[in-house]
Amino acid sequence: MKKRILEMLQKSSRPLSGPELSRELEVSRVAVWKHIDQLRQSGHEIESTAGGYRLVTVPDTPFPWLFGPRSALIHYYPELDSTMNRATELARAGCPSHTVVVADRQLQGRGRMQRQWDSGEGGLYFSIVVRPALPPRECPIINLAVALDLVATLARCCGITARVKWPNDLLVDGRKIAGILSQMEIEGDQVAFVNVGIGLNLNNEPEVADKPAVSALQLTGEKVNRAQVLADFLQRFETRMATFSRREVLRQWRERTVTLGRQVTITTLRDDCEGLAVDIDDEGGLIVELADGSRRTVFYGDCFHTL
């Protein structure tokens, strides 16, 4: 109902009265007023004039009612310890595939290797539950697919050209604009779910000491509507997963990466690996050519471009 009210106010060139909204929505004027009041409390500036209600500004907060038929799958929180923690709880409780947990702020946001993810106000922080019909060994490809769809969303919504860095980063001119983290749970030999956590620097100003970072606001000088960015990504990702093609994901990733052809250092919890990044294999592992000419496939770790 809130979404319908917002759509009517946005499309109208004049204020809309309570009786007009009541007739169109087939609810009482009191119900209309309650929804208007709730919209105001959530940050929408709606002016009451002699002619009726007029929408002045819309916040970029990703409230569930902004996502139409997808709204039941959106779980929004002003603040969470971690969207990934909450998504795991929902996944274990049997939530549908493509359930989304999104928060304005995370107190314990994390990236790879258990590093803290800076979750300053204005960024887009969310986790999505995926229940793919894929064998466990192929699920790392989902990370690559998410990265590709984020690249397309940044281009469409922000006019920003980002590139993908193995295994889970998006870069703009060498600076990190997004990070991806996934966790998989298996029941028997089947994938129960894969949770993908995304941190996207949009209207925030990230401060990351060890790696250069940047936001859409810093790149363009303009704020972007976070709800629209999330809606665009979810549509792309759901469409991709409905007709999932590992071959197509690998092809697109190779076209959009800044890692292949570079000298890299891969750091894992056990050891380091240095060499030339020559390709990725069918399961998303990075193939590195070592100094002695031999090749090693790495499936996880931090990747540093050295040349």
Contact 264, 277 (CB under 8 A): yes
Ligand-binding site membership of 112 (annotated): yes
Ligand-binding site membership of 41 (annotated): no
Ligand-binding site membership of 176 (annotated): yes
Ligand-binding site membership of 190 (annotated): no
Contact 258, 307 (CB under 8 A): no
Contact 1, 25 (CB under 8 A): yes
d(CA 115, CA 263): 24
- Which residue type sits at 118? D
Question: For the range 133-138, what are the long-range contacts, defined as Cβ-Cβ under 8 Å and sequence gap of 24 or more?
Answer: 134/191, 134/244, 135/191, 136/184, 136/186, 136/189, 136/191, 137/283, 138/246, 138/283
- Which residue type sits at 2? K
3-state secondary structure of 42: coil
Ligand-binding site membership of 116 (annotated): no
Contact 215, 204 (CB under 8 A): yes
d(CA 16, CA 55): 10
- CB-neighbour burial class of residue 9 (10 A; exposed 0-12, middle 13-18, buried 19+): buried
Q: Which stretches does DSSP call E strand in 131-218?
A: 163-165, 169-172, 175-187, 190-200
Residue 67: which residues within 8 A CB-CB, separation 6 or more? 73, 74, 227, 230, 231, 234
Question: How far from the centroid of its chain's Cα atoms is residue 289's Cα?
Answer: 32
Residue stretches of the annotated binding site for biotin = 106, 110-112, 176
Which residues belong to the annotated binding site?
106, 110-112, 176
